[in-house]
Structures are given as C-alpha cells and as structure tokens.
Amino acid sequence: MQVVVDTSVIMAVLAREPSRKRLIEATASMAFVAPSSLHWELGNALTARMKRGKATLEMVQGMLRDYTTIPIRRAEVALEHVLDVAAAENLYAYDAYMIACAQKYRLPLLTLDAQLARAAAAANVSLLDW
C-alpha cells in the first residue's frame, strides 16, 4: 500500500518521539510517497529544533542521516494545484503540497498534524488510520 507521508510523521520518527515505535510498526509494509517539498520542509523543521535549543547541529545531522535511509518516492505536484488547495483550505503551501499530492495520486495521507488532517478531510483526502 502506498501512502503520502508528511513531515510531522518523519520528524516523529527522526526525533524519537513517543509515537515512533507505533508509527514504524504500522507502516512497515507501506511505500511512502511525498511531494518534493518534503525535503525542504524537513530542513526547516530540523533548523527549528536547533533554534529552539532542542537539538545540536550534530543531532540534526544524525537525524538527516537517518532520513536518507527512509525510502520515499518524491512526487511532483503542479504549483497551480497547490495554490488552489491552499486557497480553498486556507493553508500554507507546505500543507497544501501534501494534500495536492494525495489528491493527484489518489492516496491516503498519513499525518500527525491535526490541522492538516482536518484540511485534508475537507478536501476529500482519506486519512490513514494508524
């Protein structure tokens, strides 16, 4: 089964959040798909951890190494579609990319972000119940 995976899920795994083990077990047989923006959003999340004093450079470099071992198929999404989704759901582009990707490929979305989950549901994107 393929699923669109968002940054909140990847960060939960990389940062060894309490949900990590359950996420890994629930998605072990799944193939991840994400818009190309995931890479940049992840960079933003990693630097935010450093700015907030939650991680050192060495820690985020380790997270980045771990990230490169996660097989994720990068998918292209038309910016026009992203802007349409962002306008319809009142979202920033990063979240709209995830919804647009799920819509384009007709895949469920896996997210830990409640606001993104609500917007995805409103946009008729199915959510993976893990």
Q: What is the pLDDT of residue 75?
A: 97
Q: What value does the CA radius of gyration of the chain take, rounded to a whole number of Å? A: 14
Q: Report pLDDT for 57.
A: 98
What is the C-alpha separation between 98 and 54, in angstroms, rounded?
26
For residue 19, what pLDDT band results from cuts at 50, 70 and 90? very high
* CB atoms near residue 44 (< 10 Å): 11
Query: Within a 10 A sphere around the Cβ of 110, how many other Cβ atoms?
Result: 25
The predicted model scores a pTM of 0.93
Assign domain 2-122 to a CATH class.
alpha beta
Q: What pLDDT was estimated at residue 129?
A: 84
